[in-house]
A and B are shown apart, each in its own frame.
Chain A
Amino acid sequence: MSEKMSKEEKKQARKNRKKMKAGRLAKREAITGLLFITPWIIGALMFLAYPLITSFRYALNNIRITPLGMNFEYVGYENFTQVLLSDAEFPMQLADYVVSTIISVPIIVVFALIIAIMLNQNIKGKGFFRLIFFLPVIIVSGPILGMLNEEGAGSITAIDTQAITTSIQGVLPSSLADPISSIFENMVTILWYSGVQILIFLSSLQKMDRSMFEAAKIDGGSGWECFWKITLPNIKPMILLNIVYTIVFISNNEQNTIIELIKTSMFAGTQEKGYGYASAMAWMYSLIVVVIVILFAVLFMAKKDVYEKQVKKAKKAHKKELRQLKKIERRSARNAKKNARAGRV
């Protein structure tokens, strides 16, 4: 009997709780919000989660295409080892890609920053210069860059690139020298990747508070100091954004030979190459790209602001002091007790 009662009570309580729940509107909002992003959820399952898992499965198999469908043959890590050890081109091109990306990303970002700072000065014809520096954004695509580089329009004629490349090749080992000299040969088209970045920097520079600079100038700061201590810390998030954007852009550009290599080996139709082999390549390539992005992000975030450091230091010192104070208090209390006991005895 009593058990039944308690059950009913529980029911009642549950009902009450339901009524009492404050978040009904919030719940409805949450459901509507989920409804709004349902397209994305379906898309992510269909074009992200499913392909990711499947491509990993492909990478572990040797796939042959027969009239009846795909024929899987489990080979384990063989595809990966084969790509790394016996492929004629992939490891070398991957190394080239890594070296040239690590070198060209800072070049592009620093160049964009310099141009943005110059455009941010009080000059006439700002709109015209912005127009010029943004122009490449609409032109950069693989085939066009390929055509321009092929015809030698991609290099700076004023600088003798031949001299630079030969001197580089004399100093460095060829695995490093080749990507570097190719960067110098196609300098202009590499700088062309910086259109969006320039505008991102420019617009964040323009949104900075002018009064900070005025305050710094009154305190006697020079332009140089203002740049390092005010401008740079302020646009730091934008620098990271631009670095990530640049890496992603370089990786997805058709000028990048690796992605062409993946495509050709996908449709190679030979015994050992095919979907599985290409999937293994794609996995390794993607991992490398993600690692490069993380590397740059960590390198960039690790360097903390001077002031942040000082604040941290001060906090630490403060804590230490507090601890010592407590210690002294405790010790004096103990001593007092001891003394009292001694006095009593």
Chain B
Amino acid sequence: MPKRTQEQAESKVRDDGSVQIVTPSGEILIKDKKQITKDKIRKFLLGTKEQEGFLKVFIIYALLICIGFIYIYPILHMVSTSFMTLDDLLDQSINWIPSSFNLDNYKQAATSMDFWGSFGKSIILAGVPTICNLISCSVIGYGLARFEFPGKKVVLGIIIFTFILPSQITMIPTYVLYSNMGILGTIWAFILPSLLGQGINAPIFILIFWQFFRQVPKVLIEAAQIDGAGFWKSFYRISIPSAAPAIITVSLFSFVWYWNESYLTQMYVAGVTVKSGWTSLIIQLDQFATNYSKYATTATNAVTNINESINMSGTMLSILPLLIMYFVLQRYFVESIDRSGITGE
């Protein structure tokens, strides 16, 4: 540090406002006011080695804000449209802010979707497989991380391969299998594969747990074993508590992915040709138009025809639970990937 100060240029303000600078090499530079302000502006805009220039920071902020706006534009559009009445929709002068705070669209969309019923079923359909996923993937991940056995690399290879392979290829025989087992159209069609480590995106979860358990110091587990803990006990008493971030990540993502899944849900649980009692908000949204027209014809009071606002309120309703969850648990969501250890340490 002291060396640095020695080398720094000495400057002295002269009477007429210009500055005399003595550079380390002994040269004497005289700069007048104009030059100094120019220098200052340049420094301010382009920055020095130590500090970022204003211009760069400004461009980054501007870009981020612009892209961010474009990014959430569909959501803003959806929110604003969902409150509009039919008159507002047709009125050219109204772009963003509806003339009145109108909740009718939501009411009608909610009744046609059977909001509360579908909501409860959605939670069960996403929650129960998530718990099964947690149990199976943590056990499998631990087995892969902690023990050495022949064929381990093959197992890891197959796990990665199953992630790449589209589910459509195994879908038809699985459908037949479920129907032979008599679990088609029940929630067991989701529980069974997730208990066996074959749920939706289960390879990712297994790899997350695998990555995580590898970081648990082996000494800790060996110490526990010397103290008399078996393999199983050292798993759930030592490894599981230290894997809390992985558990949070896996449960959040598993819940969100099961919630958003409509293709397989329709296929296995809700039924394609024969409808079972199961449904979810996302499936209701998929069939929104037909459901709504059915509702509109059977409703006793006057119902407006389906329009953009009602569509958007339906969409809003089906993502609202997840949105609330996201904003409440935002920290865990955003930090999840940091903590999951996918990116290495």
- Tell me whether A and B are bound partners: yes
Report which A residues bind B (CB closer than 8 A).
26, 29-37, 39-40, 42-44, 46-48, 50-52, 54-55, 58, 70, 115, 118-119, 121-123, 127, 129-144, 146-148, 150-151, 153-154, 156-158, 188-189, 191-192, 196, 199-200, 203-204, 206-207, 217, 238, 241, 244, 247-248, 251-252, 254, 259-260, 262-263, 266-267, 275, 278-279, 281-283, 285-286, 289-290, 293
Binds A, one of B35-43, B166-174, B292-300: B166-174
Residue in B75, B81, B165, B319 whose beta carbon sits within 8 Å of that of A286 in the complex:
B165
Binds A, one of B5-13, B148-156, B240-248: B148-156
B:319-345 near A, CB below 8 Å: 319, 322-323, 325-326, 330, 333-334, 336-338, 342-345
Give me 6 other A-B pairs in contact (C-beta within 8 A), A43-B195, A54-B176, A151-B312 excluded: A58-B173, A123-B57, A148-B74, A153-B73, A252-B263, A263-B267
Judge whether B71 and A133 touch: CB under 8 Å.
Answer: yes
The residue in chain A whose Cβ has the minimal distance to the Cβ of B81 is A151
Residue in B74, B150, B152 whose beta carbon sits within 8 Å of that of A153 in the complex:
B74
* Interfacial chain A residues near B193, Cβ < 8 Å: 43, 47
Q: How far is the CA of A191 from the CA of B69 in the complex (A)?
A: 13
Given contacts A29-B147, A58-B172, A147-B285, contact A200 B72 (CB under 8 A): no
Q: How far is the CA of A322 from the CA of B21 in the complex (A)?
A: 60
Q: Is B108 an interface residue (CB 8 A)?
A: no
Interface string of B197-238 (1 = CB under 8 A from A): 110000000100000000000000000000000010001000
Q: How far is the CA of A279 from the CA of B171 in the complex (A)?
A: 9
The interface size bin for chain B is 35 or more
Write the nearest CB–CB distance from B93 to chain A, whole angstroms: 17
* Interfacial chain A residues near B75, Cβ < 8 Å: 135, 139
Chain B CB within 10 A, most for which of A141, A241, A283 = A141
Instruction: Please classify the interface of chain A as helix (H, G, I), strand (E, B), loop, or mixed, using the class held by over half of its residues.
Output: helix
Write the nearest CB–CB distance from A28 to chain B, whole angstroms: 9
The residue in chain A whose Cβ has the minimal distance to the Cβ of B175 is A266
Interface string of B107-130 (1 = CB under 8 A from A): 000000000000000000000000
Write the nearest CB–CB distance from B209 to chain A, whole angstroms: 11
Judge whether A36 and B170 touch: CB under 8 Å.
Answer: no
Residue in A48, A244, A262, A282 whose beta carbon sits within 8 Å of that of B198 in the complex:
A48
Interface Cβ pair total, 8 Å cutoff: 269
Judge whether B169 and A52 touch: CB under 8 Å.
Answer: yes
* Interfacial chain B residues near A142, Cβ < 8 Å: 262-263, 282, 286
Q: Is B162 an interface residue (CB 8 A)?
A: yes
Q: Is B158 an interface residue (CB 8 A)?
A: yes
> 7 nearest interchain CB pairs?
A33-B147, A36-B143, A43-B196, A141-B260, A51-B170, A30-B149, A54-B173
Q: Is B46 an interface residue (CB 8 A)?
A: no
The residue in chain A whose Cβ has the minimal distance to the Cβ of B342 is A200
* Interfacial chain B residues near A279, Cβ < 8 Å: 172
Q: Is B88 an interface residue (CB 8 A)?
A: no
Q: How far is the CA of A50 from the CA of B175 in the complex (A)?
A: 12
Q: Is B302 an interface residue (CB 8 A)?
A: no
Q: List 30 A-B contacts (CB under 8 A).
A: A30-B147, A37-B144, A37-B155, A39-B136, A46-B177, A52-B170, A121-B60, A127-B334, A129-B68, A133-B71, A134-B334, A138-B323, A141-B262, A144-B318, A147-B285, A153-B73, A188-B70, A191-B71, A192-B71, A196-B337, A207-B345, A251-B166, A252-B167, A262-B168, A267-B273, A275-B172, A278-B172, A286-B165, A289-B165, A293-B164
Judge whether A290 and B262 touch: CB under 8 Å.
Answer: no
* Interfacial chain A residues near B174, Cβ < 8 Å: 47, 51
Q: How far is the CA of A42 from the CA of B197 in the complex (A)?
A: 9
Q: How far is the CA of A102 from the CA of B200 in the complex (A)?
A: 24
Interface string of B260-301 (1 = CB under 8 A from A): 111100010000110000000011011010000000000000
Q: Is B77 an interface residue (CB 8 A)?
A: yes
Q: How far is the CA of A188 from the CA of B67 in the complex (A)?
A: 10
* Interfacial chain B residues near A140, Cβ < 8 Å: 260
Chain B CB within 10 A, most for which of A55, A192, A206, A260 = A55
Write the nearest CB–CB distance from B113 to chain A, whole angstroms: 12
Judge whether A130 and B168 touch: CB under 8 Å.
Answer: no
Judge whether B263 and A259 touch: CB under 8 Å.
Answer: yes
Q: How far is the CA of A231 from the CA of B235 in the complex (A)?
A: 38
Q: How far is the CA of A136 from the CA of B326 in the complex (A)?
A: 10
Judge whether B72 and A135 touch: CB under 8 Å.
Answer: yes
Judge whether B71 and A188 touch: CB under 8 Å.
Answer: yes
Judge whether A33 and B143 touch: CB under 8 Å.
Answer: yes
Write the nearest CB–CB distance from A25 to chain B, whole angstroms: 10
Q: How far is the CA of A285 from the CA of B172 in the complex (A)?
A: 14
The residue in chain A whose Cβ has the minimal distance to the Cβ of B319 is A139
Residue in B57, B70, B164, B169 whose beta carbon sits within 8 Å of that of A283 in the complex:
B169
Judge whether A55 and B172 touch: CB under 8 Å.
Answer: yes
* Interfacial chain A residues near B105, Cβ < 8 Å: none
Q: Is B163 an interface residue (CB 8 A)?
A: yes
The residue in chain A whose Cβ has the minimal distance to the Cβ of B257 is A141
Judge whether B148 and A33 touch: CB under 8 Å.
Answer: yes
* Interfacial chain B residues near A156, Cβ < 8 Å: 70, 73
The residue in chain B whose Cβ has the minimal distance to the Cβ of A37 is B143
The residue in chain A whose Cβ has the minimal distance to the Cβ of B260 is A141
The residue in chain B whose Cβ has the minimal distance to the Cβ of A278 is B172
Q: How far is the CA of A147 from the CA of B282 in the complex (A)?
A: 11
